[in-house]
Amino acid sequence: MGTVYSELRMVRSEAPIIISSQIPKGEAHLLIALEPWEALRFAHYCSRQTKVIVNTDVELLFVERYFTKPIEHPVDQLKELFYEPILKNYSILSQELTSSKKSANILILQDAIQNQLLPFSLEDIEALNEYYE
């Protein structure tokens, strides 16, 4: 088990030419994280206005698994860093809906779309599903 990190840059056609696919530090518009520590790890790509959606289900980092004293909870730090972050335990929500934590990422994506943080709708995704079936 390990971190999967990805940057996705969406550009409108009338926007200026983009030289790099990487998002400059401090300029991310949206940060989605399946774990609070990972959100903090990539917070340097964000500003206070960056929209943040984070699963609050904390996974201990490998080195922390052997500490006897727990490290301070990262969700409080996210609340201080970002304006109106969306912080939910998507793992529990997923388990309640599907009996598995594995759908947490889908629930996060659904929240991002419903909060109009992505330039497409749930109907657009459903249309893609129908297209590829």
Identify whether 10 is part of a domain. no
Domains in the chain, number: 1
The whole domain housing 84 covers: 28-132
Whether 94 contacts 101, CB under 8 Å: yes
CA distance 69 to 114: 39
C-alpha to C-alpha distances, 76 to 48, 82, 83, 87, 116, nearest whole angstrom? 15, 10, 12, 10, 25
pTM reported for the whole predicted model: 0.79
Q: What is the pLDDT along the chain (133 residues), one digit of tens a residue?
A: 556 778 777 766 665 666 667 888 998 999 999 999 889 989 999 998 999 999 999 876 655 555 555 557 889 989 999 999 999 999 999 999 998 888 899 899 999 999 999 888 888 878 877 777 7
The Cβ-side half-sphere exposure at 97, using a 13 Å CA radius, reads: 12
Identify whether 1 is part of a domain. no
Identify whether 115 is part of a domain. yes
